[in-house]
Amino acid sequence: MSRFRVEFYECLYARADALFELTDAVLCADGPVKTLVELSLALEHRRGHGALYAALDR
């Protein structure tokens, strides 16, 4: 699993840290994610909501 995480991280371009945390938040969610706000409040996404939107805007 750690190899997968490293290889996945290397595939990300700009704002890789924020996108990686966003991915962790989606994968650790208790169920379907309905809004980006839910993800920005998840423990796995340690950055603010601005970083989340900036990462997705790229």
- pTM of the entire structure? 0.76
pLDDT for the residue numbered 34: 92
Question: Residue 2 above 80 pLDDT?
Answer: yes
As a whole number of angstroms, the distance between CA 50 and CA 52 comes to 5
Q: Are 33 and 26 in contact (CB under 8 A)?
A: yes
**How would residue 3 be classed by pLDDT, with cut points 50, 70 and 90?**
very high
User: pLDDT tens digit string along 21-53?
Assistant: 888 889 898 999 999 888 888 888 888 888 888
